[in-house]
A and B are shown apart, each in its own frame.
Chain A
Amino acid sequence: MGRLFIRQAREREQDDELLSAYLDGELSAGERARLEARLATDPALRAELDALRRTVALVHDLPTVPVPRNFILPQTMVARPRPAPPARPRRAWAAPLLTAATAVASLLFVVVLAGDLLLSGVGGLALAPGAEPPLEAEAPQPQALAPSPISEEVEVEKAMPAVTVQAVAAETPPEAVLEAPAEAEGYDEEKPADMEPPAPAMDSGGEPSEESTVPAPTASPPVAEEAAVAPAALTTPEGAEATVSAVGGGGPGEESTAHAPTLSPPVAEEAAAAPTALATATAMPERYVGSAEPTPSEVGEVAPRATGEEAPEAAEGGRGAPESEVAERATTSRWRTLEVILGLTTLGLALATVWAWRVRRQ
């Protein structure tokens, strides 16, 4: 019985909506025809319509009440100045769109990176004959840096010296590729293990990806640019430090320290939101290391050792690598290029996204 009552009440409400709109001429032609057909055969509905019509007329004919007084404002009243343009972006869709774009870009980057590793990974890394023993430096680093997300990025760096090298390969001589494999050889075994975490690490966002491209082993302008880009891109001190630590510990320590000095000019140009990274980038490895938040000690260890080891490597460049390496390098360089592009794109999008969300929140 209660349900019947409720249903009847709802039907009455629906009818009232129709009737009300009908009175205002707001029904479509079809709706009107249907209603009029119903009215013709339903006296109760007709009665409701009449009552509704009378009600509206009564309200419409309510007498106008005279004002009890004037409401004019005193001459001293002041108007507020024209308000500043709204802080909210007129395009409210910008922030979510950029977020999605960043996600897509980082996903692509991860895919390319993973593909690169899987396809050429171990083989490419095994190319370098004279792998320096930055292994020791590498080994402790991952664990040491594990606790913080920054460490993930460092791991990424370390796990992907080949990748990062490749990323730079487009602009750098093949020596870059050689260096990574060279260093990598020593920790070839660790490679696979290291390679796993980077994937998830990178999944966490665009920034880690950037940083993985940062520690390009070759001490050359491209590397510097990347390193600079990462600091520039990262808008937080953490990011800067992450970069630093990434660079400091990224890949074989030598690389980072080796290109620390060479980083100065391009870094100086591009440094934006990462003064610490900048300072460290242009500073000696020790300072570099010192500003690295997560594990200054480890990075410090790596740095000096790296300096010593990196110099000869950097100087040598192409160390009589077998031809197979050359061929390998060609492929890997293409991968590198793609990774650089994707990495930078993701970075740029991530920045834009952060900016868009900040503006939106205002």
Chain B
Amino acid sequence: MEEAALISAAQQGRVDAFNDLVLAYQQQVYNLAYRILGDPASAADAAQEAFISAFQNIARFRGGSFKSYLMRIVSNGCYDELRRRKRRPTTSFEDFGEVDEEANPALANGHEGPEEYAERQEMARMIQAGIETLPPDQRITLVLSDVQGLSYQEIAEATDVSLGTVKSRLARGRGKLRDYLRSQGELLPARYRLE
């Protein structure tokens, strides 16, 4: 069924129609939460809560991008979780910088050898650790932009800030991540194979 029809049906209370939307978007939603929060368990919780909230408030959705609608709910939930963590440092310490590879093996490229795969995993861990050094606002903005591919305008709507704030947060987040990776020796030309 076409997305608009599914949304319409969901607004009539049809859970099964909404679940079609869930299946279509859950990977994006989960990845967004995962990149922001850094661990699979938290990401799963955030994703589930986001979908529940999205369905419960579906009456308020008045058209436009359903993806943006979801992204907004997810980022808000992640933001709240990050703030909760700040208040309970033990939790954040456990999750800080930890990327549970075994539970979350990245999808392997078909043409990638095991060495390359391992290196890519290593790099991903490093980048994720760098992302987690960013304060919540910059982190969410960077992930929405550079992981999820949202435009400045979409990010502004999702995070409810001005375009100028989006640009500023994004620039700072990227700059900080760059400095982190550089300090880790990850931006040396020899290591950079993605050009």
CB under 8 Å from chain B, chain A span 79-108: 79-83
**Do B174 and A55 have beta carbons less than 8 Å apart?**
yes
Whether B107 and A64, one on each chain, are in contact in the complex, defined by CB atoms closer than 8 angstroms, is: yes
Query: CA–CA, A64 to B105, complex, Å?
Result: 9
Assess whether B91 is interfacial by the CB under 8 Å rule: no
Contact across chains for B27 and A64 when beta carbons are under 8 A apart: yes
The contact of B44 among A61, A68, A72, A76, by CB within 8 Å, is A68
Considering the complex of A and B, which 3 residue pairs feature the smallest CB-CB distances, nearest first? A63-B106, A20-B171, A16-B175
A359 at the interface (CB under 8 A from B): no
Chain A interface residue count, Cβ-Cβ cutoff 8 angstroms: 42
Given the interface contacts A54-B192, A64-B107, A66-B27, does A59 sit within 8 Å of B22 by beta carbon? Answer: no
Q: B186: which A residues are within 8 A, CB to CB?
A: 58
Task: Answer whether residue B178 sits at the interface, using C-beta atoms and an 8 A cutoff.
Answer: yes
Docked CA distance A78–B55 (Å):
8
- The answer to whether A67 has its CB under 8 Å from any CB of chain B is yes
* B interface size (C-beta, 8 A): 62
Please give me the residue from chain B that is nearest to A82 by CB atom.
Answer: B59
> Contact: A77 with B27, CB < 8 Å?
no
A55 and B187 within 8 A (CB):
yes
Q: In the bound complex, how far is the Cα of B28 from the Cα of A66, in angstroms?
A: 9
Instruction: Check A68–B52 contact: CB distance below 8 A.
Output: no
Pick from A13, A26, A73: contact of B52, CB below 8 A.
A73
Q: In whole angstroms, what is the CA distance A16 to B168 when docked? A: 9
| In contact, B104 and A65 (Cβ under 8 angstroms) | yes
Whole-angstrom distance between the Cβ of A49 and the nearest chain B Cβ: 10
For residue A17, CB closer than 8 A to chain B, the reply is yes
A256 CB to closest chain B CB (Å) equals 56
Chain B residues contacting A75 (CB-CB under 8 Å) are 15-16
A-B contact pairs, 6 of them (CB 8 A): A51-B187, A64-B31, A66-B107, A71-B30, A78-B13, A83-B59
Looking across the interface, which residue of chain B has its beta carbon closest to that of A81? B59
Asked if A72 contacts B10 (CB within 8 A), the reply is: no
* Given A16-B174, A64-B106, also A72-B58 (CB < 8 A): no
Interface of A is mostly: loop
Q: A57-B194, A81-B59 are in contact. Are A67 and B30 (CB under 8 A)?
A: yes
With A64-B106, A65-B104 known to touch, is A13 a contact of B172 (CB < 8 Å)?
yes
Report B25 CB to chain A, min CB distance, Å: 9
Interchain CB contact under 8 A, B51 and A73: yes
Q: In the complex, are the beta carbons of A73 and B19 less than 8 A apart?
A: yes
Is B120 in contact with chain A by the CB < 8 A criterion?
yes
Cβ-defined contact, B182 with A51, below 8 A: yes
- Docked-complex contact A79 and B187, CB < 8 angstroms: no
Tell me the complex Cα distance, A72–B29, Å.
Answer: 12
Q: Which residues of A contact B55 (CB under 8 A)?
A: 73, 77, 79
**Which residues between 163 and 193 of chain B lie within 8 Å of chain A, taking CB atoms?**
167-168, 170-172, 174-175, 177-178, 181-182, 186-187, 192
With A55-B187, A65-B34, A77-B52 given, is the CB distance from A71 to B174 under 8 Å? no
A328 to chain B, nearest CB (A): 63
Is B65 part of the contact surface with A, judged by Cβ < 8 Å? no
Write the chain A residue with the least CB distance to B105: A66
Q: In the complex, A75 Cα to B167 Cα: how many Å? A: 41
Within 8 A of A (CB), among B29-85: 29-31, 34-35, 40, 44, 47-48, 51-52, 55-60
Q: A118 an interface residue at 8 Å Cβ cutoff?
A: no
CB-CB nearest in chain B for A17? B171
The answer to whether B52 and A20 touch across the interface, beta carbons within 8 angstroms, is no
Q: Is the CB of A26 within 8 A of B131?
A: no
Asked if residues A73 and B18 are in contact (CB atoms below 8 Å), the reply is yes
A263 at the interface (CB under 8 A from B): no
Question: Min CB distance, B141 to chain A, in Å?
Answer: 11
Distance, CA A74 to CA B174, complexed state (A): 39
